[in-house]
Amino acid sequence: MRRIINYLIAIALCIGIAQCKKSFLSPSSPSNVDDGFVTSTPSETFKTLSWCYANYRQNCIMGVYRWNDPIGSDAETYPEANSSNNINAELRPELLTIDAVATGFNGLYTTIAHAAKTAALIAEKQAYKNDVAGGKPTDWTQLYGEAITIRAFCYFELVKHFGDVPYGYENQYVTNYSLNSRFDIYDSLLDQLKVVEPLMYTLGQGGITAERFSRPFCDALMGEIALYSGGYQTIRTDVSNLYGKVSFNKKGSEKLGCVYARRSDYLDYYKLAETYFQAAINNEGTAHLVTSDERTYTQNPFQRHFQYFADLQISPESLFQLGNIQGGTPATTSEYAYAFGRPSDGGSANAAPAKTFGALRIIPTVYYGEYQNGDKRRDASVAVTGSNGDGNEKMLTFVPGNKSAGGIATNKWDENRMSPPYTVAQRSSGMDWPVLRMADVILMLAEVKAELGESGDAIALVNQIRERAFGNASHDISGLTGDSLKDAVLEERKLELLGEGTRRWDLILSGELPERAIAIQQEMATMVGDLKTQGYHTFSNGNVISDYIWTKSVNLTNPLTYDTPDSTNPALYPGWRGQYNYSTIQNGPKVVGTTHNVAIQGLFTYIDPNGATAAALQSAGYVKRNWGIDIVKNYTIYQANILSGITSADDPPRYYWPIPSETISDSKGKVTNGYGMPNP
Amino acid sequence: MPATTGSPFDKRWIRLTATALFILSFLGTSTGILAQSRFHITGKVTQSTGEPLAGATIVEKGTSSNVLAKEDGTFAIDVSNQKSTLVISYTGYAPREIKLNGQRQLDIALQSANSNMDEVVVIGYGTTKRKDLTGSVASVSGKTISAIPVPNIAQAMQGKLPGVSVVSQDGRPDADVEIRVRGGGSISQSNQPLILIDGVPGTLSDIPPDQVKSIDVLKDASSTAIYGARGANGVVLVTTKGAQEGKTRIGYNGYVKFNTPAKYLGELAPYDYLKYVWANAAANGAAYQTPFEQVFGLGANAGKNTGGIESYRGLHTDNEQKLVYNNSTSSNHDLTVTGGTDKTKMLFSVNYTNEQGMKINSYLKRANVSFKLGQKLFDNLTFNLDTRYTDIQDMDDEGTTNGTGSILSTAYRFRPIATNHILGDTNALKTGNIEQYGKNSMWDMYSPAARIADFDPLSISQAIRVIGSLDWKIIKGLVYHTDLTLNRAWGQKQYWSGAIYNNYVDDAGNHLFAGAVDYGKSDSWGSRWSNTLTYDFNIDGNNHLNLLAGQEVSNSGGTSMDIQANHFPSNFDKATAFAQINQYDQVNGTSQFSSSVTVPSRLLSYFGRANYALMDRYLFTATFRADGSSKFSPDHQWGYFPAGAVAWKLSEEPFLRGINWLDNWKLRVSLGEVGNDGISSNLWSQSWTSVTDQRFQYDINRLRQSAYDFSSSTEANLNLKWETTITRDIGTDFSVFKGRLSGTVDVYWNTTKDLLMLTSVPGITGFTATYANIGQTSNKGVEFSLSGTIFQNRDWRITAGGNINFNRSNIDQLAPNVTGLYGADWGGIASYPTSDYILQAGHPVGQVRGFKYAGVYTTADFDYNNGTYTLKKGVPDLGSWITVVHGLGATDRPSGQYAYPGLPKFKDLNGNGIIDQNDVSVIGNMNPKHTGGFSLNASYKDIDFGAYFNWSYGNRIYNANKLATLYGPKESGVYENKLNIMKNSYKIYDVEGGQLVRLTTPDQLDAANAHATLPLSYEEVGAVSTLGIEDGSYLRLNTLNLGYTLPKSFVSRAKISNLRIYGSIYNVFTLTGYSGLDPEVNTDPSHNNAVYPTTGLDFGTYPRPRSYIVGLNLTF
Give the pLDDT band of residue A349 (cuts 50, 70, 90). confident
**Rounded Cα–Cα distance for residues A142 and A656 (Å):** 33
High-pLDDT (> 90) share of chain B, %: 58
| pLDDT band of B1, cuts 50, 70, 90 | very low
- For residue B667, the model assigns a pLDDT of 94
Residues of A in contact with B601 (CB under 8 A): 27
Confidence band for A224, pLDDT divided at 50, 70 and 90: very high
Q: Which of residues A502 and B718 earns the better pLDDT score? A: A502
Of A19, A173, A347, the CB nearest to B604: A19
Give the residue from B790, B739, B807, B578 showing the smallest Cα distance to B114. B739
Check whether B696 has a pLDDT greater than 60: yes
Chain A from 416 to 445: CB within 8 A of any B CB: 424, 430
Asked if residue B968 has pLDDT above 70, the reply is: yes
- Lowest mean per-residue pLDDT among A35-39, B58-62, B330-334, B519-523: B58-62
Report pLDDT for A129.
Answer: 97
Q: Are the C-beta atoms of residues B853 and B874 closer than 8 Å to each other?
A: no
pLDDT band at residue B17 under the 50/70/90 scheme: very low
**Residue B401: its pLDDT value, please?**
72
Q: Which residues of B touch A349 (CB under 8 A)?
A: 503
Mean per-residue pLDDT, A484-499: 97
Q: d(Cα B1034, Cα B1075) in Å, to the nearest integer?
A: 12
Contact, B1026 vs B851, CB < 8 A? yes
CB contact under 8 A, B690 and A637: no
- Mutation pick from A17, A26, A103 vs chain B, by most beta carbons of B within 10 Å, is A26
In this prediction, residues A219-242 reach a mean pLDDT of 97
pLDDT of residue B21: 43
B397 pLDDT higher than 90: no
Give bridge partners of residue B609 from the DSSP assignment: B548, B623
**What is the spatial distance between Cα B663 and Cα B738, in angstroms, rounded to a whole number?**
6
A248 touches B: beta carbon within 8 Å:
no
* Nearest CB to A25; choose among B597, B630, B690: B630
Closest CA to B21 of B263, B330, B345, B352: B345
Name B904's bridge partners: B856
CA terminus-to-terminus distance, chain A:
74
Is the pLDDT at B2 greater than 50? The verdict is no
How many CA atoms within 13 Å lie on the side-chain side of B667?
5
B6 pLDDT band, cuts 50/70/90, is very low
Are the Cβ atoms of A171 and B710 closer than 8 angstroms? no
Q: Which of chain B's residues have a Cβ under 8 Å away from the Cβ of A16?
A: 551, 553
Q: A619, A604, A536, A609: which is closest to A573 by C-alpha?
A: A604
Instruction: Let me know: does B957 contact B1098? Beta carbons within 8 Å.
Output: yes
The tens digit of pLDDT for each residue in B493-546 reads: 999 999 999 988 887 888 989 999 999 999 999 999 999 999 999 988 889 999
Say yes or no to pLDDT of A375 above 90: yes
Nearest residue, CB atoms, B637 vs list A25, A57, A84: A25
Substitution target from A173, A176, A586 for chain B, most B beta carbons within 10 A: A173
Q: Is the pLDDT score of A84 beyond 90?
A: no
Hey, of B764, B886, B892, which one would you mutate to test binding to chain A, going by the most A CBs within 10 A of its CB? B764
What's the first-to-final CA gap in chain B, in angstroms? 41
A contact residues 119-178, partner B, Cβ 8 Å cutoff: 165-166, 169-174, 177
Per-residue pLDDT band for A5 (boundaries 50, 70, 90) equals: low
Nearest in space to B713 (alpha carbons), one of B688, B741, B743, B681: B688
What is the C-alpha separation between B970 and A467, in angstroms, rounded?
A: 46
Return the closest-CA partner of residue B554 out of B677, B439, B669: B677
Q: B1002: buried, middle or exposed (CB in 10 Å: 19+, 13-18, 0-12)?
A: middle
Q: Which of B481-485, B1080-1084, B1100-1104 has the highest average model confidence (pLDDT)?
A: B481-485
Pick from A527-536, B119-128, B760-769 the range whose average pLDDT is largest: A527-536
Q: What is the distance in angstroms between the Cα of B602 and the nearest Cα belonging to chain A?
A: 6
A12 touches chain B (CB under 8 A): yes
Q: Judge: A209–B604 Cβ closer than 8 Å, yes or no.
A: no
Q: Of B165, B174, B41, which Cα lies nearest the Cα of B102?
A: B41
Q: Do β-strands B39-47 and B105-110 pair in parallel, antiparallel, or remain unpaired? A: parallel
Q: Can you tell me the distance from the alpha carbon of B450 to that of B440, in angstroms, rounded to the nearest whole number?
A: 10
Please say if the pLDDT value at position B431 is more than 80: yes
**Residue B109, pLDDT score:** 79
pLDDT of residue B118: 67
* pLDDT 10s digits, B929-951: 999 999 999 999 889 999 999 99
**Do B503 and A349 form a contact (C-beta atoms < 8 A)?**
yes
pLDDT of residue B854: 95
Beta bridge mates, B1019 = B885
Instruction: Residue B344: name the closest of B29, B37, B17 by CA.
Output: B29
Residue B756 is predicted with a pLDDT of: 84
CB atoms inside a 10 Å sphere around CB A145: 26
Chain B residues within 8 A of A105 when measuring between CB atoms: 763
> Which ranges of A421-512 does DSSP label H, i.e. alpha helix?
438-451, 455-470, 482-496, 503-510
Interface of A with B in 453-472 (CB under 8 A): none
The pLDDT, as a whole number, for residue B123 is: 86
Average pLDDT across chain B, whole number: 88
Determine the distance in angstroms separating the CA of B453 from the nearest CA of chain A, rounded to an integer.
21
- H helix or E strand, kind and range, residue B355: strand B344-356
pLDDT interval class at B648 (50, 70, 90) = very high
Q: What's the whole-number mean pLDDT along residues B813-833? A: 82
Q: Does A2 score more than 90 pLDDT?
A: no
pLDDT of B52 strictly over 80: no
pLDDT of res. A8: 59
Looking at per-residue pLDDT, the higher value among A119 and B205 belongs to A119
| Confidence (pLDDT) at B113 | 56
Closest CB to A109: pick one of B691, B697, B765. B765
pLDDT at B34: 39
Are β-strands B821-822 and B1029-1031 bridged in parallel, bridged antiparallel, or unpaired? unpaired
Q: Beta-carbon neighbour count of residue A294 at 10 Å?
A: 7
**Residue among A340, A401, A395 at smallest CA distance from A71:** A340
Q: Are A618 and A624 in contact (CB under 8 A)?
A: yes
B368: pLDDT strictly greater than 80: yes
Q: B816: nearest CA in chain A? A: A666
**What pLDDT was estimated at residue A63?**
66
**A82, A170, A346: residue with CB nearest B883:** A82
Show residues of chain A in contact with B437, CB under 8 Å: 347-348
Residue A593 near chain B (CB below 8 Å)? no
Residue A4 has a pLDDT of: 59
Confidence of residue B4 (pLDDT cuts 50, 70, 90): very low
Q: Indicate the pLDDT class of residue B112, thresholds 50, 70 and 90.
A: low
Per-residue model confidence as pLDDT tens digits over A455-469 = 999 999 999 999 999
pLDDT-based confidence at A342, cuts 50/70/90?
very high
How many angstroms separate the CA atoms of A110 and B714, rounded? 11
Q: What stretches of A118-201 adopt beta strand conformation (E)?
A: none
- The mean per-residue pLDDT over the stretch B309-332 comes to 94
CB contact under 8 A, B688 and A37: yes
Q: Which of A12, A55, A166 shows the shortest C-beta gap to B531?
A: A12
Mean pLDDT of B1060-1071: 94
Quickly count: other Cβ atoms within 10 Å of residue B103's Cβ.
Answer: 12
**Contact criterion met (CB < 8 Å) for B883 and A83:** yes
CA atoms within 13 A on the CB side of A295: 16
CB contacts of A173 in chain B (<8 Å) are: 715, 717, 761, 765, 770
Mean pLDDT across the stretch A582-611? 94
| pLDDT band (50, 70, 90) for residue B971 | confident
Furthest C-alpha separation in chain B: 111
Selected for mutation to probe chain B from A38, A90, A666 (highest B CB count within 10 Å) is: A666
CB pair distance less than 8 Å for B890 and A633: yes
Contact list in A for residue B698 (CB cut-off 8 A) is 49-54, 57, 323
* Closest alpha carbon to B938 in B1113, B1063, B801: B801
Asked which of A652-656, B553-557, B693-697, B711-715 is least confident by mean pLDDT, the reply is B711-715
Q: What's the whole-model pTM score?
A: 0.85
A334-338, A596-600, B612-616: segment of lowest average pLDDT: A334-338
pLDDT in tens, B290-307: 999 999 999 999 999 999
Burial level of A4, CB count in 10 A (0-12/13-18/19+)? exposed
**ipTM above 0.90?**
yes
Looking at the DSSP bridge assignments, the partners of residue B921 are B850
For residue B766, give the nearest of A97, A171, A633 by CB distance.
Answer: A171
Average pLDDT, chain A: 93
Q: How many CB pairs under 8 A join A and B?
A: 259
Q: How large is the average pLDDT for residues B1013-1030? A: 94
Decide if A27 and B898 are in contact by the 8 Å CB cutoff: no
pLDDT at B890: 81
CB A226 within 8 A of CB A277: no
Residues 6+ apart with CB under 8 A from B338: B241, B243, B244, B248, B249, B251, B345, B346, B347, B348
